[in-house]
Structure formats: C-alpha cells, structure tokens
C-alpha cells in the first residue's frame, strides 16, 4: 500500500526515520533532476541533491502543509541549488563538464567511434534546445524525458496538475522539434531533412 506524503511526514515527525527514507526514494530522482537543471554538472548535482534532502529533513518541522511535501521539497532544492552555486559557482564555471559515467553499451560498440561521436553531437543539440526553452518548460521536460517520471510524479513534485503538466510538455515538445529542426539545418548547411523513401 502506497502511503500518502502527509502520512509519511507525520510519521517522520514522530521519530520514524524510515518514513523519511520512503520520501527520499519517492523524490530523489526529481531532486537530482532539479539540481542538475541548475548546476549542469553531474557531480555538482549529486552534491546539491544530497544537501537538499538533508535540508528537507532538518526543515520538516516547519512544513505547514504536509500534503504539499513535493512542491515544498522542490523549493528547498531550488534554494539549496542557488546557495550552492553562490558558494561554488566560480569553481564550477572553470570546470570542463565531463559526461556522466556509464559503461560502454552494445550500441556504442556496434556503431564504432564515428557513430558514438554522432550520437554525442545529437545529444548536445538536444541539450542546447532544452536550454533554449522558456524556463517554465525546462524542468518538466527534464523530469519527464531525462528522469522518465510519470505525469503524476511530476505533478506531485511541482504542485501543478497533471493536465497542466501534459499541456506544458505538449507545448515544449512542439518548440523542441522546431529548435532541433533549426539546429539540424544549421549543422547540414541549410539543407532540408532527407525524405523517407517509399
């Protein structure tokens, strides 16, 4: 049985540390995605996410509406990220962003260096297009397509309804397609996309 956030908050405030562990499991992907959205680096995002979850635990007695734990945790994460970037922003700006550590996939091995390079370039174009979206669209896009959260999970974390999230993601998808078309045209020297053969 899935306990509601408010019940888990109540149990946590009564001394049940496992209840906060359940909340962490439920929201850690959203917290990490939000941290990465602000920091743009995996290592920094991990540090910010850890700090935010700890700050959430310490601030839990000040949560006025336990039913809105997700949106409250999003605000805690945003403040934590802003404070972290204020303290470490200079060092972070001087770092070269490294790709997230992952093992070599079968696809990478099959495609060889050229295919891997092309995939990396596509990924960079997608990231650039996401960065160009209006700010209100960016976090839901990151949560949905990079963290693969459901509409309900995004709604729980942001405090917006599932219908609002669905609308935001539809508008963001249209804008992303257009931005990626422009990027592809620039990369191919204004050539039209090749048409599929019948």
- Confidence at residue 171, expressed as pLDDT on a 0 to 100 scale: 94
Q: How confident is the model at residue 180 (pLDDT cuts 50, 70, 90)?
A: confident
- pLDDT for the residue numbered 103: 44
Q: Are residues 21 and 69 in the same domain?
A: yes
Q: Is residue 197 part of a domain?
A: no
Q: In percent, how much of the chain has pLDDT > 90?
A: 43
Report if residue 63 sits inside a domain: yes
Q: Are 18 and 47 in contact (CB under 8 A)?
A: no
Give the pLDDT confidence of 55-83 residue by residue, as tens digits. Answer: 999 999 999 999 999 999 999 999 999 99
**Owning domain of residue 127:** 107-191
What's the structural domain count of the chain?
2
Residue pair 33/147 in contact by the 8 Å Cβ criterion: yes
CATH at 77? 1.10.1740.10
Segment among 39-48, 94-103, 119-128 with least mean pLDDT: 94-103
User: Average pLDDT in the 129-153 region?
Assistant: 86
127 and 179 co-located in one domain: yes
Which pair of structure tokens corresponds to residue 59? 């601030």
């Amino acid at each position: 049985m899935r306990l509601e956030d408010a019940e888990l908050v109540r149990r946590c405030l009564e001394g049940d540390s496992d209840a906060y562990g359940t909340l962490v499991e439920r929201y850690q992907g959203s917290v990490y995605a939000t941290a990465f959205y602000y920091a743009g680096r995996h290592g920094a995002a991990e540090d910010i996410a850890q700090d935010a979850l700890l700050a959430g635990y310490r601030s839990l007695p000040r949560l006025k509406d336990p039913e809105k734990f997700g949106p409250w945790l999003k605000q805690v994460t945003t403040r934590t990220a802003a404070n972290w970037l204020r303290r470490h922003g200079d060092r972070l700006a001087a770092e070269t962003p490294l790709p997230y550590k992952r093992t070599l996939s079968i696809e990478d091995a099959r495609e060889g260096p050229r295919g891997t390079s092309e995939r990396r370039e596509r990924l960079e174009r997608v990231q650039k297009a996401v960065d160009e979206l209006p700010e209100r669209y960016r976090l839901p896009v990151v949560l949905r397509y990079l963290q693969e959260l459901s509409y309900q999970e995004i709604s729980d974390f942001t405090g917006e309804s599932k219908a609002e999230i669905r609308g935001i993601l539809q508008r963001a998808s249209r804008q992303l397609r257009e931005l990626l078309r422009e990027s592809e045209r620039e990369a191919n020297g204004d050539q039209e996309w090749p048409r599929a053969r019948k």
